[in-house]
Amino acid sequence: MKIRNTNKGFTLVELVIIMVILGVLAAVAVPRLGSSIDSSEVSSEEAVIGNLRSALEVYAMDQVVQNSSKSYPSDPFYSLDDKSRLKLTNTSWSYSGGSITHTRNDGTTESWTYNESTGEIF
């Protein structure tokens, strides 16, 4: 009668090798994930500022139609529709004294200057 070896599975050495490989992969992937988050936040800021610039021009053209005079709002967020304005200003975006500010997830802030007389954001 033959006795069969029914021990199936991984040895301790194989499991340790797998753990080392996973550790190396995690060490490489985590820094890359951090830089991806940073670049996505910058892209998001650029999109918001671009939308604000467009909304300011639409607002100014509406003023031309209504008053025959091109003017811009005192607060650039007023050029947005109510839903967008509330969504932005109730989060990490703010406007004060000619400066548009965004507080990023890591706590740092990015600022842009708004010129009310020309409608420029720079």
Q: What is the pLDDT of residues 46-90, one digit of tens each?
A: 999 999 999 999 999 999 999 999 999 999 999 999 999 999 888
pLDDT band of residue 1 (cuts 50, 70, 90) is: low
Cα(40)–Cα(44) distance, integer angstroms: 6
Q: Residue 37 domain-assigned?
A: yes
Do 121 and 112 form a contact (C-beta atoms < 8 A)? yes
Residue 73's pLDDT is what? 96
Domain of 81?
26-121
Q: Residue 5 domain-assigned?
A: no
pLDDT band of residue 35 (cuts 50, 70, 90) is: confident
Q: Residue 59 domain-assigned?
A: yes
Residue 44's pLDDT is what? 92
Residues near 114 by Cβ (< 8 Å), separated by ≥ 6?
76, 95, 98, 99, 100, 120, 121
Left if phi > 0, otherwise alpha if psi is -120 to 50, otherwise beta: which for 102?
beta
Q: Residue 15 domain-assigned?
A: no
Cα Rg of the chain (Å, integer): 27
Q: Residue 6 domain-assigned?
A: no
Residue 82's pLDDT is what? 92
Residue 112: pLDDT above 90? yes
Do 81 and 88 form a contact (C-beta atoms < 8 A)? no
> Helices (DSSP H) in the chain: which residue ranges?
12-67, 82-89
Residue 5's pLDDT is what? 65
pLDDT band of residue 3 (cuts 50, 70, 90) is: low
Q: Residue 2 domain-assigned?
A: no
